[in-house]
């Protein structure tokens, strides 16, 4: 499997209920994080890992996503006439990142179902799944480490991150064993959104996966699980339990991750990313200090 030929799948067909009414007519993946929609960060992350074929699984009202990654000639002409080359470059970048394909999910029956929709596009190859709720800082390495680990072992690879035990009920949780490599664990079990007292660890699945095509027949027979949805975690549990296969490994991520999945985390992500930016940080940081001193 060459790094260049691997495809990425971005499921973006959720209903975005936590952000209603903002997401009534607009997908949550298009919510701006500073000045780019969340999904563009994920597409940029894929592109910088050398992935040039991306399938976005879209839902109802999702044409905005394909419009965003398309070029807008009249805007480009306007910006050229104004000589605003910096903005022109930023606008053009979003339509030049990768070869992006779109497929409708139909009924939203869960993450596992969305991933199964990618079967024809992906074919008989391993592929990457990237969730738009999790943004990984572009200064930190994750997906390339995961792809290398898959290439080396053939295993399914999930990204894991330590979370506060009180938060584990919001994630897929992993039971793990150490390996002789720092930051790489063998995953012996996975459970979707367990209660804190039932969780096998405080290692949460964050939204990056390298999956083998063997996941498709499993997803086809995976029954609805937590929340009545077909869960990707349940299919991965089957791969972890298969002692004849290459199993599941976890890459422990210790870098910067921004969660845009709920409102408070989304606001934090914007503040963190903006304060770090060369063009915005200098204005924002002193104001933030003053503001927080008055809280």
Q: Which of 6, 131, 157, 269 binds ligand G1P (CB under 6 A)?
A: 131
Distance CA 50, CA 249 (A): 22
Query: Residue 185 forms beta bridges with which residues?
Result: 178, 250
Q: What three-state secondary structure class fits 268?
A: helix
- Cβ-based nearer residue to ligand G1P, 94 or 134: 134
- Cβ-based nearer residue to ligand G1P, 80 or 196: 196
Distance CA 121, CA 141 (A): 27
Please state the closest distance from residue 167 (CB atom) to ligand G1P, in A.
Answer: 10
Burial of 82 (0-12, 13-18, 19+ CB in 10 A): exposed
Q: Which residue is nearest to ligand G1P (CB)?
A: 172
- Virtual torsion, Cα 259, 277, 90, 53, nearest 10 deg: -40
Burial of 138 (0-12, 13-18, 19+ CB in 10 A): exposed
Distance CA 179, CA 157 (A): 14
Please state the closest distance from residue 265 (CB atom) to ligand G1P, in A.
Answer: 11
Instruction: Decide: 155 and 71 in contact? Cβ < 8 Å.
Output: no
Q: Which of 29, 134, 149, 234 binds ligand G1P (CB under 6 A)?
A: 134
How does strand 248-252 pair with strand 156-162?
parallel
- Cβ-based nearer residue to ligand G1P, 6 or 235: 235
Burial of 256 (0-12, 13-18, 19+ CB in 10 A): middle
Distance CA 30, CA 23 (A): 9
- Cβ-based nearer residue to ligand G1P, 4 or 17: 17
Number of residues that bind ligand G1P (CB under 6 A): 15
Q: What three-state secondary structure class fits 189?
A: strand
Q: Interface with ligand G1P by CB under 6 A: which range of 77-85, 194-202, 227-235, 243-251?
A: 227-235
- Cβ-based nearer residue to ligand G1P, 37 or 172: 172
Per-residue contact track with ligand G1P, 245 to 284, x per CB under 6 A?
Answer: ----------------x-----------------------
Q: Which of 233, 249, 251, 253 binds ligand G1P (CB under 6 A)?
A: 233
Per-residue contact track with ligand G1P, 11 to 30, x per CB under 6 A?
Answer: --------------------
Of 182-211, which residues contact ligand G1P (CB under 6 A)?
192, 204-207
- Cβ-based nearer residue to ligand G1P, 7 or 257: 257
Q: Which of 16, 27, 132, 172 binds ligand G1P (CB under 6 A)?
A: 172
Q: Tell me how far the alpha carbon of residue 205 is from its chain's centroid.
A: 11
Distance CA 113, CA 230 (A): 6
**133 binds ligand G1P, rule: CB under 6 A:** yes
- Cβ-based nearer residue to ligand G1P, 123 or 165: 165
């Amino acid at each position: 499997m060459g790094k260049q030929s691997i495809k990425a799948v971005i499921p973006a067909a959720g209903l975005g209920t936590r952000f209603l009414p903002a997401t009534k007519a607009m997908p949550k993946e298009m919510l701006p994080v500073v000045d780019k929609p969340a999904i563009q960060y994920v597409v940029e992350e894929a592109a910088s890992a050398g992935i040039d074929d991306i399938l976005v699984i879209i839902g109802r009202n999702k044409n905005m996503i394909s419009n965003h990654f398309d070029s807008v000639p009249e805007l480009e002409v306007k910006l050229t006439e104004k000589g605003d080359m910096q903005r022109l470059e930023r606008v053009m970048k979003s339509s030049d990142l990768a070869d992006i394909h779109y497929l409708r999910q139909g009924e939203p029956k869960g993450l596992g179902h969305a991933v199964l929709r990618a079967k024809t596009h992906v074919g008989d190859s391993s592929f990457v799944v990237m969730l738009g709720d999790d943004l990984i800082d572009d200064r930190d390495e994750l997906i390339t480490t995961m792809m290398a680990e898959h290439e080396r072992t053939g295993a399914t690879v999930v990204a894991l991150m330590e979370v506060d035990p009180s938060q584990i009920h919001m994630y897929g949780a992993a039971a793990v064993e150490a390996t002789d490599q720092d930051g790489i664990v063998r995953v012996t079990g996975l459970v979707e959104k367990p209660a804190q007292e039932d969780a096998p660890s405080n290692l949460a699945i964050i939204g990056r996966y390298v999956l083998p095509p063997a996941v498709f027949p499993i997803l086809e027979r995976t029954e609805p699980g937590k929340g009545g949805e077909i869960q990707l975690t349940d299919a991965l549990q089957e791969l972890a339990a298969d002692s004849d296969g290459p199993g599941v490994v976890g890459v422990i991520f210790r870098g910067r991750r921004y969660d845009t999945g709920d409102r408070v985390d989304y606001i934090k992500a914007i503040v963190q990313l903006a304060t770090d930016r060369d063009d915005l940080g200098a204005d924002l940081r002193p104001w933030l200090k003053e503001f927080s001193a008055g809280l």
